[in-house]
């Protein structure tokens, strides 16, 4: 018998003493761990899961007693739960462990519950899921728009997650039909950046904009590349104006991270409006935490004559694009953007052609007949 920890990201099992996942390198959180109890009985592997170590040890102890008394029934099967049964257990867990739980709740109630909610897990087939995807693909929403491939894929991902957690929690031991379904292919890695003219119009608009809080938020986004959610939850306690750093709390599932601030970003913080005694830097109504910036951004975007589809998130892309285009390496950009996966930063790789151009220019010298001339010219270029 054994008790292991399960990695949230790649589902790898590891020892209780592990500090990070040996497979993907993710740090093991102090809270919200999933413990897996493993039993070998009559040559077969049986698993149970628990959400805290104390419960895991109780389950392990109970299994030991049952095996010793020969009362453990490996073949005993319980009726498969309905998807609604699993959802009722899932949503409290998601509210504690997932930032996207509100979106998942909307998806479940809108798309999954009406079709699969009352069905037992072993009664949902790959064909049923394919039918759901086809129906969504043909359905038109408000404004005569079709569901995006990403939205359709999210339904399958959520359904698959419910099956996986039902298995982990010992609620279900059958097959996951989502594994036999081909998810829609996505090509939605949109990389936005502003032209020099567009950036000039935006900065000119900000200079004359009357709402100074809106100006501060947009300027800080331009000079830091922070996500909208990260901006909204920044507190004054997260900023050190002497050392010129800002600490991001739990940036998209990672550990707290301190990042340097540029002089212009520091200037934004020094001039941000302070109408209320509040802990929030970019506060909302009556000094409370701001939760949305859609309206102010739409007005700024329109006044600056930016493209209608240029999102506030595009400022983050512009920040990264500007750095990469100026020769900043992708690892540095990945750190500044707090990307957990390097592949996310790779979308900007096509902008990083400075090193390639330098190499091509040097190759002209390397391919000349006089080898000594090559070396001399190469050294001259390297030494400026």
pLDDT tens-digit profile of 135-153?
999 988 777 788 888 899 9
As a whole-number percent, the residues of the chain with pLDDT over 90 amount to 38
The pLDDT assigned to 46 comes to 76
* Phi, psi (degrees; rounded to nearest 5) at 70: 60, 35
Comma-separated ranges of CATH 1.10.150.130 domains in the chain: 83-180
- Can you tell me the distance from the alpha carbon of 240 to that of 208, in angstroms, rounded to the nearest whole number? 29
Q: Inform me whether the pLDDT recorded for 351 exceeds 90.
A: no
The pLDDT assigned to 267 comes to 94
Average pLDDT over residues 69-97: 81
Comma-separated ranges of CATH 1.10.443.10 domains in the chain: 196-351
- Dihedral angle sign, alpha carbons of residues 312, 314, 317, 319: negative
- Can you tell me the distance from the alpha carbon of 210 to that of 16, in angstroms, rounded to the nearest whole number? 56
For residue 304, what are the CA distances in angstroms to 137, 198, 215, 264, 265? 36, 8, 13, 21, 21
Question: How many other C-beta atoms can be found within 10 angstroms of the C-beta atom of residue 336?
Answer: 19
Q: Inform me whether the pLDDT recorded for 349 exceeds 90.
A: no
Q: Inform me whether the pLDDT recorded for 305 exceeds 70.
A: yes
- The verdict on domain 83-180 having CATH code 1.10.150.130 is yes
The pLDDT assigned to 153 comes to 92
pLDDT tens string 178-214: 999 988 876 555 557 788 899 999 999 999 999 999 9
Q: Inform me whether the pLDDT recorded for 281 exceeds 90.
A: yes
The pLDDT assigned to 7 comes to 83
- Can you tell me the distance from the alpha carbon of 45 to that of 34, in angstroms, rounded to the nearest whole number? 18
Q: Inform me whether the pLDDT recorded for 74 exceeds 60.
A: no
- The verdict on domain 196-351 having CATH code 3.30.465.10 is no
The pLDDT assigned to 241 comes to 92
């Amino acid at each position: 018998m054994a008790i292991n920890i399960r990695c949230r990201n790649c589902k790898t099992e590891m020892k209780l003493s592990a500090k990070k996942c040996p497979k993907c390198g993710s740090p093991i959180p102090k809270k919200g761990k999933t413990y897996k109890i493993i039993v070998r009985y009559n040559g077969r592997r049986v698993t149970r899961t628990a959400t805290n170590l104390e419960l895991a040890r109780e389950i392990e102890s109970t299994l030991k007693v049952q095996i010793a008394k020969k009362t453990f029934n490996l073949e005993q099967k319980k009726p498969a739960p309905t998807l609604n049964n699993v959802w009722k257990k899932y949503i409290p867990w998601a509210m504690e462990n997932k930032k996207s739980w509100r979106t998942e709740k909307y998806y479940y109630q809108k798309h999954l519950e009406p079709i699969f909610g009352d069905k037992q897990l072993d009664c949902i087939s790959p064909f049923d899921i394919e039918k759901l995807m086809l129906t969504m693909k043909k359905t038109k929403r408000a404004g005569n728009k079709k569901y995006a491939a990403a939205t359709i894929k999210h339904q399958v991902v959520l359904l698959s997650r419910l099956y996986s957690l039902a298995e982990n929690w010992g609620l279900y031991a059958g097959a996951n039909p989502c594994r036999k379904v081909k998810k829609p292919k996505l090509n939605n890695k949109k990389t936005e950046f502003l032209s020099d003219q567009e950036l000039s119009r935006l900065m000119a608009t900000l200079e004359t904009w009357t709402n100074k809080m809106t100006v501060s938020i947009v300027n800080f986004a331009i000079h830091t590349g922070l996500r909208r959610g990260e901006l909204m939850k920044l507190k004054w306690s997260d900023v050190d104006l002497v050392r010129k750093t800002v600490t991001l709390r739990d940036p998209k599932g990672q550990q707290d991270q301190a990042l340097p601030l540029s002089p212009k970003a520091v200037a934004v913080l020094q001039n941000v409006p302070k109408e209320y005694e509040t802990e929030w830097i970019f506060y909302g109504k009556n000094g409370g935490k701001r939760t949305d910036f859609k309206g102010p951004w739409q007005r700024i975007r329109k006044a600056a004559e930016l493209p209608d589809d240029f999102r506030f998130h595009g400022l983050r892309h512009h920040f990264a694009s500007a750095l990469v285009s100026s020769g900043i390496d992708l690892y540095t950009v990945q750190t500044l953007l707090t990307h957990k996966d390097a592949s996310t930063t790779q979308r900007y790789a096509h902008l990083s052609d400075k090193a390639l151009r330098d190499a091509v220019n040097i190759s002209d010298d390397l391919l000349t007949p006089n080898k000594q001339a090559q070396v001399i010219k190469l050294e001259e270029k390297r030494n400026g």
